Structure 1
C-alpha cells in the first residue's frame, strides 16, 4: 500500500496508519487491518480500493479486516464490486472480513444490491 505511515501515540504498541488517499486510510494493529473510507466513492476509486483490500488480505499477519463506511456518502456498483472482491480475498485467505458504519443511502444501496448481510458478516439467507 502506497502512502505515508505514521505511528499513533495513543497506541504505540504496533498501530500504523497509512494514508492511501484523501478518501482512504488504512490502520494496522496486530493482525487487524481497518480500512476507513470517506466521501463519494465511484469508478474513480474502485480500482485503488480493490488493490488496497486484496493487498491487506494477502499480508501474512492479517487475521481480520474491517472496512469502515461511516463517513461515506455515496457508492456505486463498482465500489460494491470492490467491497465484494475484498470479501472474497479475505475468505480465500481464511481471515475475517466485515464492513461497518453503513448508514443512509449507502446502507440502502447495499441492501437493494443484496449484499448488506454478507458484508456485515452474516450468513447468506437461503
Structure 2
C-alpha cells in the first residue's frame, strides 16, 4: 500500500504529489485529472465522477495523466468502466499526458488499444 504523507504543494496547481483525483468541466466536455500516486486506496473517489458522467449531458471526456506518477490495476479497471460509461452515451473517451511507468502500465494492459492516447491539448 502506498503511504499518503504530506508533500510540498505545487504552487502552479495547488495540489501536492500524493494521489488525487478530480473531474472538471472543460471546453471539450469533461476533464478527469489524476495527480501523483493513484491506486486502490482512492477507489471510492471514482464514484462521484461516474455519477456526474451518467447524470449529465453526454460529453466527451479526457483523462489527463500528465501529473500522475503511478497507477495500479484498480485505475485500469476504472478506465475500462469510464470507456463503457462514456461510449454508452455516444461520447468519446481519450487519455492525454501519459508518460513513463504510467504509460507502460496502460500499454502492458492493452488499455491504449481501447482508449486512444492523444497529444496534450489545452482544456
Same structural fold, with TM-score higher than 0.5 when normalized by the shorter chain:
yes
Report the aligned-residue RMSD.
2.3
70 and 52 in structure 1: CA distance in 2 versus 1, 3 angstrom threshold: farther
Matched residue, 1:75: 71
Which range moved further: 109-118 or 55-64?
A: 55-64
- Higher normalized strand content (fraction of residues): 1
Which of 91, 108, 111 does residue 107 from structure 2 map onto?
111
Does residue 34 of the first structure (1) align with residue 25 of the second (2)?
no
- Determine helix, strand or coil for the equivalent of 1:71: strand
Size of the aligned set, in residue pairs, is 101
Runs (4 or more) in structure 1 with deviation over 4 Å come to none
Q: Taking structure 1 as the reference length, what is the TM-score of the superposition?
A: 0.70
Q: Which runs of no fewer than 5 residues in structure 2 stay unpaired?
A: 1-18, 119-123
Cα contact 1:31–1:62 (8 A) shared by 2: no
- Determine helix, strand or coil for the equivalent of 1:110: helix
* CA displacement, residues 23-70 of structure 1 (integer Å, 9 cap, x when unaligned): 123221467111111010110112322x14422321332321111011
Instruction: After TM superposition, list the pairs within 5 Å mapping 1:36-115 onto structure 2.
Output: 36-49=33-46, 51-115=47-111
- Determine helix, strand or coil for the equivalent of 1:28: strand
- Determine helix, strand or coil for the equivalent of 1:37: strand
Separation (CA, whole Å) in 1 of partners of 2:111 and 2:26: 27
Cα contact 2:61–2:94 (8 A) shared by 1: yes
Which of 104, 116, 121 does residue 120 from structure 1 map onto?
116
Separation (CA, whole Å) in 2 of partners of 1:55 and 1:30: 20
